[in-house]
Chains A and B, each alone.
Chain A
């Protein structure tokens, strides 16, 4: 039963696409009729878009109220003192405000983007050196508008399915997943543990990246 919902990590470098799709396909069977609707969008993502596009301070306050306790909880659980965690939360919230123009809702939900910023900052602080991060693939505002508006909603639906899948896991499995993403597991423990099947989500983000590359190329050629 564990096999149904999880896959083993391997070290061969082969992405477990087949396993991921089989897994997600099973969940999707029940919800084939679900069509993208604007209501399916995530309110945190809407807030972040409002911060990006309108420098909306009320939306920012909502993001703060939603994420700052969660970020603090996560950082304390992964080993920081409360004071150090609050310093990181402060930096994360100010980074959200200043880097909102880089946010691309067709590739990331607000919580995913904020999760990454928090990890980057936390690791900068605990290792006292900058965390190596991938070069940014920047979405220009004009290309973002030409990409399909429902890409974000599609991502939201994938997220809802993944959330259901996590909730359907046996308690012990769910706890391992939570501990891994909170940052309580070591590299060796993550290597030993089984992982979530993220194949269909990966494919969707991959598509968004392809579109972005395409648009950026067109822009450059103009």
Chain B
């Protein structure tokens, strides 16, 4: 084995100075990264997602920048947001004045508190190279701590914005800890402009009986690469529900890992709208480690142009995890001949008393549905656009924050040519 060439992107990203805090964490990550390069399509895990275009680029650490966030504000979350620009906390754009007392919601750069928080929860096994890169080089991030039994009424808002005048790399980081019996809604958004690489890592700990609802919106620039990791630990009777909506990025990969303890519940829903040459890959891992937990996944993609969607849904049911109920559905709508979808469930079931179902569909619009709409007077184009819209909007029905739901529906309307149909919300 020869070591990677000097043009190695991993080495390049690590070339800059190691930030001072969390030295041990970072050192361990760097050790794991030593001598490694980007995965290639020869890696089983990256078979359908080619990082060649990424490997050919070079990224500098992202400088501090200021941006206008007025277009990203949501009325329900006026005083509950933390904003990060190019990986750095943006204090003037952030406002946490409405965060209820007792809830901790602060940037990691407020080190003394964060140090304690980040060190106190087990991070588990690394999800791979991009998590390690983040750990080695993240500049800042958000910490959210919700105390025991506190049900937070207002949703919290995390905005990660990248502004790349030249190619930059950013490593957003989030740690969420919900103590026993607490409840929270969290909206996490990624926006940006220019060519950049963003490798967010979100770590979540949901304690016994706690409930986290997590909306994730990826609207990165069409020239961006988004390689994200999410790890959620859900303790006994806890619930974690997330919805990941991917609109942007030239290439994106979401890697959500969820570990469920006894009686826990999790849902990982997803929607990706892809066009042009976009690639969106989701490699999920739903890990049932204890009895009687249930999980649910609905992953939808609309793929147009020469775009490509990849879904690999791994579900592992440990021998102990009797009474598991795991459902997974991957539904894909192809709008062009050259669009492509690779979808596959990966079930690893080691318990016998379990209910596991999975299904995948890849295809065009259903002619019966088209006819039904046409029989009510909609012309063929309108019927197609309405069905395409509905296919996507279906995932948005239960987005809890009304203004966000509306904004997302409008975005979907614009992307599905349903705009001419008037207000559909």
Partners in one complex: no
Which residues in A have some Cβ–Cβ distance to B below 8 Å? none
